[in-house]
């Protein structure tokens, strides 16, 4: 079967389309014929070596397709069977087939396509757990979402609105401003032309935001903390501009703000946690409360280009690979 792998760490040039044996599912696994795989920043973190992994490694962390076979020890209560359309949150999705632990697999509702299923799993669960677990957003609160026109940011904006928050979004171009508005932002700040801190202070009457959600990392860390109001929460969940070097605890004490640096896996470590949050998420998608914006569709041979386009911020919305 075809798969996209790397045997050394580096840039997108280390990704190779290779022929490897079709996997056989272990007793606790299901074999999935992959139809779509999602493209995410975490793929580049693993590829570059920022997140350690064994080599060779098949890229990708989420996908969707159809179950072709199951291991003999998959619990019946999981409700998974041959022929089911499923989404999966597991490594090695950029391949024609993947064997995944059944606890990371969820049956798709009728109203959700495999294309949307692949696009929503990692970023959607990331966004949903940010708004439900990292900071339990309440109606009437003010949330700042950095990169509000992007894949995770756009989903997070919609979820914050669904929870009753006022949302301030940031982005970099007039085109992306319109996208962020379409996602539901109450206010959008173009950081290429405006000072974000000054605008947030103006909008909030100098109070700042109850929650600041930022996947940018190093470049905005000080501003993100400055824009978090007294007793608010600064949630840093990504490193698109580079990893944050350090934060002094005393900096948090100035306004008694909480700092959260979550990883999705620790919010959905058990099957129960995974199913609870995934079911909530897919219900939002099926009802139309959260809409998936596909920003680009690539072939397996173009996975490297997809990752480069994502890092280079050349696209709007979620990128997927059609297998």
The 10s digit of each residue's pLDDT in 80-121 is 999 999 999 999 999 999 999 999 999 999 889 999 999 998
- Please state the pTM of the whole predicted model: 0.84
Average confidence (pLDDT) over 121-133: 95
Tell me the backbone φ, ψ of residue 22, rounded to 5 degrees: -65, 130
- Mean pLDDT within 305-321: 89
β-pairing verdict for 62-70 and 85-89: antiparallel
Question: What's residue 231's pLDDT?
Answer: 99
What is the pLDDT at residue 150?
Answer: 84
pLDDT of residue 314: 77
Closest CA to 148 of 138, 135, 162, 158: 158
Return the pLDDT at 318: 87
Q: Mean pLDDT of all residues in the chain?
A: 95
For the segment 131-146, the average pLDDT, to the nearest whole number, is 98
* Predicted local confidence at residue 246, as pLDDT: 85
Measured between alpha carbons, how far is residue 141 from residues 159, 161, 204, 235 in Å? Answer: 13, 10, 11, 15
CA 51 to chain centre: 16
Confidence of residue 316 (pLDDT cuts 50, 70, 90): confident
Nearest C-alpha neighbor of 210 from the set 158, 177, 263, 167:
167
Residue 239 has pLDDT above 90, yes or no: no
Other C-beta atoms lying within 10 Å of the C-beta of residue 68: 15
Q: What is the mean pLDDT of residues 217-228?
A: 96
- The pLDDT, as a whole number, for residue 243 is 85
The tens digit of pLDDT for each residue in 19-48 reads 999 999 999 999 999 999 999 989 999 999
């Amino acid at each position: 079967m075809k798969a996209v792998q790397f045997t050394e760490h580096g840039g997108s040039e280390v990704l190779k389309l290779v022929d490897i044996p079709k996997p056989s599912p272990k007793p606790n696994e299901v074999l999935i014929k992959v139809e779509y795989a999602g493209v995410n920043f975490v793929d580049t973190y693993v590829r570059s070596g920022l997140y350690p992994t064994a080599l060779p490694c098949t890229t990708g962390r989420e996908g969707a397709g159809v179950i072709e076979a199951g291991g003999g020890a998959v619990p019946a209560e999981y409700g998974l069977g041959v022929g089911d359309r499923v989404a999966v949150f597991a490594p090695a999705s950029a391949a024609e087939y993947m064997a995944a632990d059944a606890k990371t697999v969820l049956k798709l509702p009728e109203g959700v396509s495999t294309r949307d299923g692949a696009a929503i799993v990692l970023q959607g669960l990331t966004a949903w757990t940010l708004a439900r677990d990292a900071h339990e957003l309440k109606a009437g609160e003010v949330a700042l979402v950095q990169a509000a026109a992007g894949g995770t940011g756009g989903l997070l904006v919609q979820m914050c609105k669904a929870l009753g928050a006022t949302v301030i979004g940031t982005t970099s171009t007039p085109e992306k401003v319109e996208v962020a508005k379409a996602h539901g932002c109450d206010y959008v700040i173009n950081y290429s032309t405006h000072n974000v801190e000054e605008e947030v202070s103006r909008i909030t009457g100098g109070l700042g935001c109850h929650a600041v959600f930022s996947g940018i990392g190093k470049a905005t860390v000080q501003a993100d903390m400055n824009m978090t109001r007294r007793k608010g929460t600064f949630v840093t969940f990504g490193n698109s501009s580079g990893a944050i070097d350090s934060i002094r605890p005393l900096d948090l004490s100035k306004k008694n703000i909480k700092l959260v640096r979550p990883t999705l896996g620790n919010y959905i470590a058990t099957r129960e946690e995974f199913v609870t949050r995934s079911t909530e998420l897919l219900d939002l998608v099926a009802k139309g409360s959260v809409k998936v914006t596909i920003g680009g569709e690539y072939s397996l041979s173009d996975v490297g280009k997809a990752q480069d386009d994502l890092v280079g911020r050349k696209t709007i919305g979620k990128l997927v690979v059609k297998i």
